[in-house]
Structure 1
Amino acid sequence: MGAGGDLPLLLALAALAAAESVAWAAVGVPELGGLAAAQAGLDLATGLVVSDPGPRAAQVLAVLLESVPVVLVGASVRVPERAVRRLRAVMRRSGAVLLAAGRWPGADVQLRVAPVGWTGVGRGHGLLRGRRVTVTAGGRGAAAAPRSAELWLPGPDGLVGVTDVTDVTDVTDAAGVTERGAAEAVRGGARADLRVVG
């Protein structure tokens, strides 16, 4: 993910990956709050948060990837290329999944998030009920062919899911652009990257 990232997508992916194993960890994700993690479906009782791994981030990640099946990594965490190769070996051995915000060398899958708009906003007023985004996946191997989907992140029910555009009647983007102008927001909007390694 880019600066600021798209934490809801990162948390949704982590919750899916941790569904069977339950345990998870977050490293260098200072914007992560307990309420957001719990609403995404992560069990706070089985999570471990390392706000700032410092200069030994590679060692911290290696220890966590040996013992925790799902590890989130913030965009500010920097790991040398040679350490990334060692971490990949740890993941192959342990079966752990690394979800990294921002640039991560050698990521298998890269997700790009482009904002489409919000539902619930009228002409300058209203209660935000859901946010629509377009998520595009690409990467290496089986993920080489890009695929896109429009998602609620989150939807009117607070959950992540695929949108049904026929049900959307009052979508605007953060600047008040109507549904008709939402395509322009997608083409010119800020993009976020998410890397999945493992």
Structure 2
Amino acid sequence: MPLDAICLRAVTNELNNVLAGCRVEKVYQPDRDEIVLQTRGGQGGPRRLLLSIAAGAPRVHFIDAARENPAAPPMFCMLLRKHVQGAKIAAVSQPAVERMLTIELDTTDEMGVPCKKHLICELMGKHSNVILCGEDNRIIDALRRVDGDLSGKRQVLPGLFYRMPPAQDKHDPFTVSGTGLAAAASQA
């Protein structure tokens, strides 16, 4: 079943309830398109959160079993370990009617100064991605880098400012009133 924005809204609420206040203990990348965040603290003890950007089934959910990891971790995994490991999860949020969620992290920079970082999970089929941004919304790195050759509309490269994917002009069913929803349905 494809993951739509409404289903992701329920997942985001559950993740926020369970993960807010937890610490990221370890970061793994068992597959080219998967990241596993092992957390501690919060409800239910230690948990493993899977972030998958596989084109056929992008998803975010908890897993029970430990995954087998490669002998040498990939570069993006090493970068996440540097920036995210030990960070406290402040919140998990979702922009309105988007198939993406943001994990807000309270951490420290290289000098030990407290800062915020954002782990953005875009779950949009073959365009899925996991992007790490700094406090100023500048991209630190992404699991899949997107340059001008791949996309003329939006580049996802280290050093650039993060921009959300182009809006699709959808109505948010959680903010539209009953009469507004009926009017929108009649226009379609």
Is the TM-score greater than 0.5? no
Q: Which structure carries more relative contact order (alpha carbon 8 Å, separation 6+)?
A: 1
TM-score, normalised via structure 1 length: 0.25
Determine which structure has the larger helix proportion and give its number.
Answer: 1
TM-score by length of 2: 0.26
